[in-house]
Chains A and B, each alone.
Chain A
Amino acid sequence: GQNIDQPTEMTATEGAIVQINCTYQTSGFNGLFWYQQHAGEAPTFLSYNVLDGLEEKGRFSSFLSRSKGYSYLLLKELQMKDSASYLCAVRDHDYKLSFGAGTTVTVRA
């Protein structure tokens, strides 16, 4: 099975940077995904890591260390619209996703 941990809540100021950590213990690893989910809406894909290192996509970056079972999502130049839940998900060798409980990020003016 999969055990995925991420903080429950984080608060940051508009324009700032926030880093959301995710640790995992898995019986099989085939990639790590980050999704954004606004209240009442579907999760939307943000980033994907399968090899160690940093992947950058605009204001969002994601890092993976497979040996440490660790990932983080970095949100830069925060905007009010970034207020949402951020889900860390680990994919197994059958391509199924196991999700963490999500981190609710609140951006304040």
Chain B
Amino acid sequence: DTGVSQDPRHKITKRGQNVTFRCDPISEHNRLYWYRQTLGQGPEFLTYFQNEAQLEKSRLLSDRFSAERPKGSFSTLEIQRTEQGDSAMYLCASSLLTSGMGTDTQYFGPGTRLTVL
């Protein structure tokens, strides 16, 4: 399978604990995005990378959240001191941004469902 993969698929944690999620994008894709989705809502943008550079962080991303893409390939999203409001599906997407023409379609991974007790 050459699609976007995420690990773990499900995570249950207690309030106050730290969690880390991993995303492996489609090979050769230079852009990687993180979104959060709650029940009955569309995905909300959190942050994105072009290669290893983090270009933007949403106001939704508090100081407890940090994301990295150290070698421009896989990415990690860490949440420190989790709160019940962090319970959501965390989606990763990747795309190939080319100058000029191109759709730059984002392809999504299966997501990590986080439950904070």
Interface residues of A, Cβ cutoff 8 Å to B: 4, 31, 33, 35, 41-45, 48, 87, 89, 91, 94-102
Contact = CB atoms under 8 A, between A and B. Distances in A.
A94 B55 contact: yes
B68 to A, nearest CB: 19
A95 B97 contact: yes
Contacts of B44: 99
A41 B91 CA distance: 10
Contacts of B43: 43, 87, 97, 99
A101 B41 contact: yes
A87 B44 CA distance: 12
25 contacts: A4-B42, A31-B103, A33-B105, A35-B108, A41-B110, A42-B4, A42-B91, A42-B111, A45-B105, A48-B105, A87-B42, A95-B97, A96-B33, A96-B48, A96-B56, A97-B33, A97-B45, A97-B106, A98-B45, A99-B43, A100-B42, A101-B40, A101-B41, A102-B41, A102-B42
Interface string B34-48: 000000111111001
Nearest to B103: A48
A44 B107 CA distance: 7
Contacts of A35: 108
Nearest to A95: B104
What is the predominant secondary structure among interface residues of chain A facing chain B? strand
Nearest to B44: A99
Nearest to A44: B108
A55 B48 CA distance: 28
Given A91-B104, A94-B55, A99-B43, 5 more contacts: A33-B106, A42-B91, A45-B105, A89-B42, A95-B31
Contact of B108 (A42, A48, A95): A42
Residue in B41, B97, B106 with the greatest tally of chain A CB atoms within 10 Å: B106
A92 B14 CA distance: 37
Contacts of A42: 4, 91, 108-111
Nearest to B45: A96
